[in-house]
Amino acid sequence: MSEMLGRSFKVLEYLAEHPQGVALSTVASELKIPLSASHRLLTELIRCGYVRQNAIDGHYVLTIKLVSVGLSFLSNSGIVDVAQPLLDQLAAASGELVRLAVVDGEDLTFVAKAQGATHGLRYDPDMGLSVMLSCSAAGHAWLSTMSEDDAMALVAKKGLGKPEDFGPKAPTTLKAVMAYVKAARQRGFSMINEVFAPGMTAMAAPVFSVHGAVIGVVTIAGPAVRLTPHRMEALGPALLGTAEEVARASGASALFKKRA
């Protein structure tokens, strides 16, 4: 049963990365699950309403049920109600994309955002994605709140990812990651330049609960031509102020209370 459950989640996560749909043989091959077992899993997921099969090409795609479940959870948790006005204010002040990620065990996941760019270049990636700790401003900010040993252990466990999937300045060694983390710890917030993606910069500050536990991270991200290192330094106080305001308001969210 546990193996079947694990495989089911792997299938759902894989389909989430391929919204155009995937053939049965591809699912089986990519996930290294026998063809017959893959077919049984997909049939069960169809029965439960999380997957459908295209009538034209037979490919399998996610339905919006999984999205609906996630949105319902966020709505009931109170996170968006608590954080959105604060994110909106910071987005307006910075003119860039502002996002909130919450700590969930050993992961960070973006759950809310506000777009401050009203014209020109806009950086606006998908929401609901887990953060790559080694090469993201959010990851560095969270790691900076840990002891050196704990931060290194978590990065080693999560991995560095493939260099070709990130920016030209993405760290490729544990030592390089920890240099970013050390700088974030000293500054109070993290800063990256063409680390997560080419031509993109970002900064992030941790959100602490009233009890001192880290419950999330607030980020600002945008094009490097506009969100320069000098501009990020200037936005530092506003970013830290928003993180503090989210922390003070966190008591109104059931999920934030649980994280604390």
In sequence order, what are the residues at sequence separation of 6 or more whose Cβ sits closer than 8 angstroms to the Cβ of residue 252?
A: 78, 81, 82
Residue in this structure with the two tokens 């479940």, named with its chain if needed = 69
The Cα–Cα gap between 158 and 142 comes to 14
- Name the maximum alpha-carbon separation found in the chain: 57
The SS3 call for residue 209 is: coil
Residue-level pLDDT at 94: 95
Residue-level pLDDT at 129: 62
One-letter amino acid at 158 equals K
Q: Which domains are seen in the chain, by residue range?
A: 2-63 (1.10.10.10), 74-259 (3.30.450.40)
Residue-level pLDDT at 79: 62
Q: pLDDT (tens digit, 9 = 90+) per residue, 126-140?
A: 555 678 899 999 999
Q: pLDDT (tens digit, 9 = 90+) per residue, 213-256?
A: 898 999 999 999 999 999 999 999 999 999 999 888 776 455 55
If phi over 0 gives left and psi between -120 and 50 gives alpha, with beta otherwise, what is residue 21? Answer: left
Q: pLDDT (tens digit, 9 = 90+) per residue, 27-74?
A: 999 999 999 999 999 999 999 998 999 988 999 998 877 766 665 655
Share of the chain above pLDDT 90, in %: 56
The band of 118, judged by pLDDT with boundaries at 50, 70 and 90, is low
